[in-house]
């Protein structure tokens, strides 16, 4: 129960990203600053964590050895992930972005064939390409239906070009995030911890974030003090606190697959927290009935997907068969 509660708390802090980004967009803040300032503010915190562990030189050495791979996949995993999310905040409410963002689970599965691993078969090392987990993909279609449903009211109320400006960037982010991060996990090959990898990815993409910030200044002028504060809140709450809480929760139950799946499922609550946050902070009305059905399907799909790999359906149905039909002629 402790791990699940921590997971719920992590989802709450993750939801800050979607709500605060929408607040910044409503206040006239530019996505140039919403995106760049988050990672610029994150870097000192991440550096402090790595410094305390005494791993700074090791991370820098690893980056030096694989400079090209670090830069390319960090840019894909961070820049092509977060720039589209902040851009779309100017066209869609946070709860809608949060709901649409859950499609990243499906995108991650579709990308599976792009990755290979070396396994030993009959004493020989063989490169095996990952396969798309069709069972999980089928279950995740529930979530995809929910994503389509929540888009219907939004699409019917605005022009097509504005709808696409809110939706397509999230689609790009949904593919970029798992692609970049999985490729980076291959690059580090278990030699770096999660926080160390995130620190390295933030560090090597820092020049890009600085360029985005400078372009924003040239086009929009300096960011307002309120946007700077809000970007710092996103960096602290979502980039640092939520990430640490989530990894702490998963570490507590790492040896219990069912509890681990339950912790992972808590992240679907980001959509709920985003809805509540925007109702309180922005005065937005509760999404209509159709959208709420879509949100419910997303949460259900996320929960089933989180558990699907840890459930043996053969054993499950055999147990049901025994319980129901063990005495078929009684009662």
List pLDDT tens digits, range 34-54: 999 999 999 999 999 999 999
Select the more confidently predicted residue: 331 or 197. 197
pLDDT of residue 291: 81
Percent of the chain at pLDDT > 70 equals 79
Select the more confidently predicted residue: 327 or 147. 147
Select the more confidently predicted residue: 95 or 67. 67
Across residues 48-63, what is the average pLDDT? Answer: 94
pLDDT of residue 100: 80
CA gap 96, 25 in Å, rounded: 14
pLDDT of residue 329: 44
pLDDT digits (tens, 9 = 90+) for 192-222: 888 898 899 999 999 999 999 999 999 999 9
In the predicted structure, residue 58 carries a pLDDT above the cut 90: yes
CA gap 239, 42 in Å, rounded: 7
CA gap 50, 202 in Å, rounded: 13
Cα 37 from chain centroid? 19
Q: Which of 310, 318, 274, 296 shows the shortest CA–CA distance to 89?
A: 274
pLDDT of residue 317: 46
- Residue 123: pLDDT band with limits 50, 70, 90: low
Q: What are 6's two structure tokens?
A: 């921590």
- Residue 313: pLDDT band with limits 50, 70, 90: very low
8 Å CB contact between 265 and 306: yes
Across residues 93-115, what is the average pLDDT? Answer: 75
Q: What are the distances in angstroms from CA 284 to CA 15, 94, 149?
A: 16, 10, 19
Full DSSP string of 108-149: HHHTGGG-EEEEEETTEEEEEE----HHHHHHHHHHHHHHHH
CA gap 323, 71 in Å, rounded: 56
pLDDT digits (tens, 9 = 90+) for 155-196: 667 677 777 888 899 999 988 988 888 888 889 888 888 889
Select the more confidently predicted residue: 143 or 281. 281
Q: Which of 237, 259, 242, 241 shows the shortest CA–CA distance to 250?
A: 259
Average predicted confidence (pLDDT) for the chain: 81
Q: What are 258's two structure tokens?
A: 């069912």
In the predicted structure, residue 244 carries a pLDDT above the cut 70: yes
CA gap 270, 85 in Å, rounded: 15
Q: Which of 76-80, 233-237, 304-308 has the lowest mean pLDDT?
A: 304-308
In DSSP terms, 125 is beta-bridged to 120
pLDDT of residue 328: 46
In DSSP terms, 224 is beta-bridged to none
Select the more confidently predicted residue: 123 or 101. 101
CA gap 297, 42 in Å, rounded: 33
pLDDT of residue 316: 47
Cα 328 from chain centroid? 48
Percent helix, strand and coil across the chain, each rounded to 5? 80, 5, 15
8 Å CB contact between 83 and 33: no
């Amino acid at each position: 129960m402790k791990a699940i509660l921590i997971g719920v708390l992590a989802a709450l802090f993750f939801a800050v990203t979607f709500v605060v980004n929408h607040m910044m967009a409503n206040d006239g803040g530019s996505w140039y600053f919403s995106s760049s300032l988050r990672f610029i503010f994150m870097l000192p915190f991440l550096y402090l964590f790595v410094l305390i562990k005494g791993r700074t030189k090791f991370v820098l050495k690893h980056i030096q050895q694989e400079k090209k791979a670090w830069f390319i996949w960090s840019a894909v995993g961070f820049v092509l992930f977060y720039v589209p999310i902040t851009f779309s905040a100017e066209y869609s409410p946070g709860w809608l972005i949060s709901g649409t963002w859950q499609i990243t689970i499906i995108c991650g599965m579709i990308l599976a064939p792009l990755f290979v691993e070396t396994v030993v078969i009959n004493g020989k090392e063989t490169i095996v390409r990952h396969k798309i987990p069709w069972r999980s993909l089928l279950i995740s279609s529930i979530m995809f239906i929910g994503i389509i449903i929540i888009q219907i009211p939004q699409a019917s109320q605005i022009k097509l070009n504005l709808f696409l400006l809110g939706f397509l960037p999230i689609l790009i982010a949904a593919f970029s995030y798992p692609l970049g991060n999985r490729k980076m996990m291959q690059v580090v090959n278990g030699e770096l911890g999660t926080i160390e990898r995130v620190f390295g990815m933030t560090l090597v993409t820092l020049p890009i974030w600085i360029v985005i910030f400078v372009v924003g200044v040239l086009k929009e002028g300096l960011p307002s003090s309120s946007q700077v504060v809000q970007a710092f809140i996103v960096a602290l709450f979502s980039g640092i606190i939520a990430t640490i809480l989530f990894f702490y929760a998963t570490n507590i139950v790492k040896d219990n697959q069912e509890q681990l799946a339950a912790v992972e499922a808590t992240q679907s609550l980001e959509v709920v927290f985003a809805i509540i946050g925007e109702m309180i902070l922005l005065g937005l009305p509760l999404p209509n009935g159709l959208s709420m059905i879509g949100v419910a399907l997303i949460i259900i799909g996320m929960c089933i997907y989180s558990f699907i790999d840890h459930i043996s359906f053969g054993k499950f149905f055999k147990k049901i068969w025994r319980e129901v039909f063990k005495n078929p002629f009684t009662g």
